[in-house]
Amino acid sequence: MRARIQKISRHAPSIFQGKFDFAYAHARVSLSMEHPFERYTMQALVLVLLALAGGYLYFVSSSVLNVMARREAMAQVSQIQGSIGGAEQRYFELSQAVTVQTGIARGLTPVAKTQYINRPGNVGAATIARNEI
C-alpha cells in the first residue's frame, strides 16, 4: 500500500493530507429542499420547549407560593404560642389560688381511707395462643 502513495516526503502522509470526497454526499442531501420530517421535528421541538417553559413557570410559582404559605404558617404558630403562653400563665395563677380552705368553702371534703384493689389474672395475665394464624 505504501508503494501506491505518492512520495511527498520520505514520511507517510497523515490523515489530514488526504482528499475528502463529497460527491456522494451531494447526491443524497440537499439543503435547498425541506426534508419530509423537518416540519414534524420542528413542531416537536417547539412543543418540548413550551412544555419546559411551562414546567419552569409552574415550579417557580409553586416555590413562591410555598414560601408565602410558610411565612403565614410561622405567623400563626407565633400567635398560637402567645395564646398558649397566656393560657399557661392564667392556669398557674388559678392553680396557686386553690387551697384546702377554698375547697372546703366550695363544699368539697377531703378523701379518707383510700383503698387500692389488685386483681391479678385479669388483663395482666392474658396469654396469647401459639397458633393464632
Interval 30-41: pLDDT, tens: 667 777 788 899
Q: What is the separation of C-alpha 123 from the centre of its chain, rounded to a whole number of angstroms?
A: 45
User: Quick one: how far is CA 106 from the chain centroid?
Assistant: 58
| Structure confidence by residue, pLDDT tens digits, 55-113 | 999 999 999 999 999 999 999 999 999 999 999 999 988 888 878 888 888 888 878 88
Q: Which three cell numbers stand for residue 103?
A: 375547697
Cα angle for residues 104, 114, 96 (degrees, 5° grid): 40
Three cell numbers, residue 95:
392553680
Look at residues 69, 49, 73 and name the one whose alpha carbon lies nearest to residue 61.
69
pLDDT for the residue 111? 80
